[in-house]
A and B are shown apart, each in its own frame.
Chain A
Amino acid sequence: MMQDRDQKHKALKLCVANRWFPQLEVDVQPVRAIRVKAPLVTDLDVFASMPNVFRGFQTLVFDCKTKAKESPVNRSLWLRGVLDRLNADQGFCILRKEAIQLDHRMLATRLGIILLAEDEFDLYAAATSMAYKGIASNTSDIDLWDKFFAIPSAYPKLQEGLVFIRSAYWMIDDPAEACRKTLATLRALNSELDPAKPEHLAIFLDFAALFARSLAVVVSNIFKAYLHPANQVELSEALLTMLYGGHEAYEHRNQLYKRVKYQNKGTTPMDLSLPEWERFLILTRQLLDAPAESQRVPLILREVGFGILNRGSSFPFASSLCTESPQAARFALMVPDYLARAAKLPPEFGQASETVLLPLQPVK
């Protein structure tokens, strides 16, 4: 049974009501580990990504604490350290404590942390988000998160995928690297994933959500520098440079790649790029049509994935997300299509996602 369940549930609800992208229970790993299996630093209760036009996403950490013993101010000092580790912008500390010293609250506020007693959270949430009280979505349903995290107990081979979703992904600072690694991890699972199983579809769509999240940041950066690249070559160069950590790093990798791949072959070597590069360029160029809207794609995809996990046939909340942002709805259709092809998954993955996402497209 999940600890501090009620508090986490409320945090999830607040995130979804504000259209932030929440991640429940993120395991934090050390930055540079000495051991192969490094011991975890800590775990975060809820880690939320808030769309930001300039930065891609701002991030928030919700820390839910049941122990009455610990002093609130100590907890907020600890949380400040966690925020720094994750480059997060804002912290929430929810405590089962009746009275929190006002001075401690003030100190916490200066550290970028909001200290709240458990019974105050509802007031805070209702005052900052109109939708908080009536929210009904799959992503804010904590039972579905339990179900999602339990997938590896039925399908042990998918454990690695779950670890990536719950931890490894969130430890990557660079969005382009996160794109690459999300794709690579999904590719590694391609022989295990079966489109006939809703659990597998849910995992696929969650990977798509994470991929979309990082891609949105990449697109935001490209947009700031290039607006709309004048031609395909320019876009391609911009993306390669960004994906592989700068021009020099790309050249270095590319040379290694060509040497290894085309060692004893007479064929003309192809340059290093993501799989299905042409499609990736097309997808990225489409996202550049509305870079800010692309930041709303992850929540749509996770909502749909969890809906499938819940054996749902209608997706009312995902549908309202799509109506709020028709461009995001369109992008949400395109991301799984690319990802399924690039990860060489059975084609049914792309088709199944399309079957769900097409009817959600808002039509005036």
Chain B
Amino acid sequence: MAENTKNKPEPSEIAARCHEIQTGLGMTEVPEFDELRVVGMAVRLALHIRGLPAINFLTLKLVATHFLGIPSIGVKRVAETLAEVEFVKLVTEGQTIKAVVPTVPYYETLYNGLGQYAQTRGFNESEQLSVELLCRLSKAPEKVDTLISTTGAEKKLLSRVVDVGKEGAYLRVHRSRGRDIALSPTYFSENAEIYADMVAGVGAKQVQKIIQALGKAQGIPLSIIQKRKEIAGISFTDDEMKLVVRLAQDGAVKPPSISTTHSGENFFLFTPTPSGAALAPTKRDIYEKAMAIVAAVRQGQFLPAKYAIRNPGGLIYTLKRDLKLSRATTEATQQYKKLVHLRVAQLHPVGQGFSELRIIETPENKEALTIALALVDASVPAGLEVDEAAKQALQQDQSYVESLVASGELKRRTTVTLSAEQQLELENLFLK
């Protein structure tokens, strides 16, 4: 299979794809994936521990399992892999790892190092095919038939790889114009024309309407849309509302989520394109951070405890300029907790329940702020009022689930039933 590949992916791209696959799959078991998962987990863990002093291994295990979707029995192997590429040093006692001292490099060296490791270790057939498919689909959607003929993979193997990809929400197959078209929802932003063409061909005005509306109000909470049945002054019918949820499932609008103990999860909706810019494979985590920033700010805008954020763009601009907010608030702790988890910012308590938000200064975080600013600057949506019930729930303890995982979870949990006509319309969208 590999010899048929015209352009062998660069090590950094291999690592980035593994990261994507692992992020999508989370805890889902895929028996045929082995090294690929380890490399993906290693990238993920490395990104999160970079720049930290020594970490107790038990703490690392808990965090890795809880927040990063790395199964607890896998953490040791991942840590050993990172030690092998000299991204961490291990404090051991006999066979037991006591602590991990991160020496993870910055910039592209991270992806290069793990990509080269992946190349040396070698992938099995399924893994190679998955990485190759993802590399190709990140550039353009392709016909499944073409994939079979050009990769030389068996049809059975390919369909299994595609199934796994669907489960992980990093790959989709749509039947369109009588053919199966595979595409990567993660990189949909790069294929906007093709997507537009697909929907334009069938006159999917509803889909376009929703995408356009979302573009004007990036990061709006799904619950608000459901409640108000409108985005930025554009109102939706019940059927269109179901499409919004459906689009969220398809990964077309990547939803980061905030879960609360009382009201379950709230999803914040984004269009596939970060303000029209193409997303470099290694910038994925930066975009995730940007979405998290916007989600946090949107929460303060639509669902605050007392004082709503009136100008989200101005607030992000201030953050970008000063790397902190001008004053501490009582709402900061709840509102920005998820940014702390993603290591975008730190909350400094200043007494009496007030906390001050300070951005952790790294190139990635600054870039995330730039993207976040572009995301909210599209426009300030009007006419949306505060939802008291949701607001109450959001004041509770929150845990943040990163966008891809959230997308996968939404898919697993709820299958929205569409009306007969809508079903037909959607089928037509992708069938013709």
Contacts and interface: CB of A to CB of B under 8 A. Distances in A.
Same complex: yes
Interface string B31-56: 00000000000000000000101111
Contacts of A364: 56, 59
B98 A363 contact: yes
Contact of A358 (B51, B55, B59, B89): B89
A194 B366 CA distance: 47
Contacts of A329: 53-54
Nearest to B91: A358
Contacts of B51: 286, 289
Interface in B329-371: 361-363, 366
Contact of A327 (B53, B103, B361, B363): B53
A282 interface: yes
A247 B336 CA distance: 43
A119 B232 CA distance: 79
A163 to B, nearest CB: 33
A362 interface: yes
B99 A285 contact: no
Nearest to B367: A230
Interface string B367-404: 00000000000000000000000000000000000000
B108 A330 contact: no
B101 A361 contact: yes
Interface residues of B, number: 23
B91 A285 contact: no
Contacts of B103: 282, 286, 330, 333-334
A278 B113 CA distance: 12
Given A358-B91, A358-B101, A361-B99, A231 B54 contact: no
A39 B91 CA distance: 49
Nearest to B58: A363
A130 interface: no
A322 B374 CA distance: 42
B54 A363 contact: yes
Interface string B58-94: 0100000000000000000000000000000111000
A136 interface: no
A356 to B, nearest CB: 12
A362 B54 contact: yes
A229 B364 CA distance: 11
A361 B91 contact: yes
Contacts of B107: 231-232, 285
Interface in A338-364: 354, 358-359, 361-364
B107 to A, nearest CB: 4
A326 B109 contact: no
Interface string B137-151: 000000000000000
Contacts of A362: 53-54
A326 B54 contact: yes
B102 interface: yes
Given A286-B51, A363-B56, A330 B91 contact: no
B195 interface: no
Nearest to A293: B53
Interface string B166-182: 00000000000000000
A324 to B, nearest CB: 12
A339 to B, nearest CB: 15
Contacts of A358: 89-91, 101
B9 interface: no
Contact of A232 (B90, B91, B99, B109): B109
Which of A227, A229, A333, A361 has its CB near the most chain B CB atoms (within 10 A)?
A361
B363 A330 contact: no
A147 interface: no
Nearest to A359: B91
Interface string B100-120: 011101111100000000000
A18 B53 CA distance: 23
A253 interface: no
A231 B102 contact: no
A285 B361 contact: no
A364 B228 CA distance: 48
A258 interface: no
Given A282-B105, A326-B53, A361-B54, A230 B363 contact: yes
B176 to A, nearest CB: 40
B223 to A, nearest CB: 37
Interface in A319-339: 326-327, 329-330, 333-334
A78 B106 CA distance: 49
A293 to B, nearest CB: 9
B50 to A, nearest CB: 9
A361 B361 contact: no
Interface in A141-175: none
A329 B53 CA distance: 8
* Residue among B53, B59, B89, B98 facing the most chain A CB atoms (10 A cut-off): B53
Contact of A363 (B89, B91, B109, B366): B91
A77 B365 CA distance: 53
A228 interface: yes
A354 B88 CA distance: 12
Contacts of A228: 361-363
A282 B86 CA distance: 11
Given A327-B53, A354-B89, A364-B56, A231 B363 contact: yes
Interface in A213-253: 227-232
A278 B102 CA distance: 17
A64 B107 CA distance: 50
Given A227-B361, A361-B54, A330 B106 contact: no
Contacts of A229: 363
B101 A333 contact: yes
B268 to A, nearest CB: 28
Nearest to A282: B105
A229 B366 CA distance: 11
22 contacts: A227-B361, A230-B363, A230-B366, A231-B363, A232-B106, A232-B107, A282-B105, A282-B109, A285-B105, A286-B103, A286-B105, A326-B54, A327-B53, A330-B101, A333-B89, A358-B90, A358-B91, A361-B53, A361-B54, A362-B54, A363-B56, A364-B56
Given A230-B363, A358-B101, A363-B91, 20 more contacts: A227-B361, A228-B361, A230-B366, A231-B107, A232-B107, A282-B103, A282-B105, A285-B106, A286-B51, A286-B105, A286-B106, A289-B51, A327-B53, A329-B53, A330-B53, A330-B54, A330-B103, A361-B99, A362-B54, A363-B55
A-B pairs, 5 with minimum CB distance = A326-B53, A361-B54, A363-B99, A232-B107, A282-B105
Interface of A: 227-232, 278, 282, 285-286, 289, 326-327, 329-330, 333-334, 354, 358-359, 361-364
